[in-house]
Chains A and B, each alone.
Chain A
C-alpha cells in the first residue's frame, strides 16, 4: 500500500479537484446502507422516509428519491 495510506489520484486533469470529487463520491455513494429510525432533514424537509424505516443515503440520491415520489 502507498506508504501514507492516502488516496492517490493520477491523471491528466486537475488532480486536486478530481481527488476531492472522488473522495466525496466514495463517501456519499459507497458503503453500507443501514435501516434506521432517524429521519434527517434538509432545509426543514424530512428526507427519505420510507414507510416505517429510513434509508440513509447521500443527499443527491435522497433528492432523487424525493423527486421520484413526488411525480
Chain B
C-alpha cells in the first residue's frame, strides 16, 4: 500500500491528528532524531474534487503539526511505494533536514499577494506608447506597494523573498512565531494605490526560505 508523506519534524516535537487523508491513520517513522509523518493510502483519486478534498485533509494534518513545531512539508501528493524508502530518504537527508528544522524552529512565513484591483483594464491602448506607459505605471505602483510593505515590516521580518505572479507580486516574510499578530496589525495599515489590492495569509511553514535539498 502506498505511503503518502506529510512532513518531517524533530522527533517528539509534535503530535499528529489521529487520521489524515482518506481517513487513514497518521503514522510516523523515526531516523536520527527526525520523524517523518505519513499515511498508508490505498488510492488517491485524481478527479479535481477528490484532489481538492485530499489536499485540504493533507493541509489539516500538516497545519496541526506546524501549530506545535517547525515542519518541513512534502509537496502533495508525495507517495512512496515502501516504508523502507522513508528510512532511506531520511538517512540521505538527515543532516540537511535537521539543520533546516533548527534554523527555522521558531519562525513562520507570512505572505502578502499584491495585485490589481478588479479586472486588468483599462489600459490605454490608443497607441503603443500610451499602452507601454500605462503598463509601466502599473509596474511602478506594484513596486511602491512592495517597498511600502517591506518598510512597514522591517522590524519584524527576519528575511524576505518575492516572486512575480500572473496577477502581480507575491511577497514572503520570515518572522518569529511570536510576531505574527504584530505583523498582521502592521501590514494591514499599509496604504496601497487605489488600483491595487493585497491579501495577507499565514502563518505557513517557511517553505520559501528552505534550502534546496539535493
A residues neighboring B (CB under 8 Å): 1-2, 4-13, 18-20, 22-24, 26-34, 36-38, 40-43, 56-59
Contacts and interface: CB of A to CB of B under 8 A. Distances in A.
Interface residues of B, number: 54
Interface of B: 2, 5, 7-8, 44, 46, 51-52, 55-56, 58-59, 62-64, 66-67, 72-82, 85, 89, 108, 111, 113, 117, 177-178, 180-181, 184, 187-188, 197-205, 207-208, 210, 213
Most buried by B among A31, A34, A37, A59: A31
A57 B75 CA distance: 7
A45 B72 CA distance: 30
Given A22-B199, A56-B79, 20 more contacts: A2-B181, A5-B63, A5-B64, A6-B63, A8-B203, A10-B187, A10-B199, A11-B198, A12-B199, A18-B201, A26-B59, A28-B76, A30-B75, A32-B78, A37-B80, A37-B82, A38-B80, A40-B44, A40-B46, A40-B79
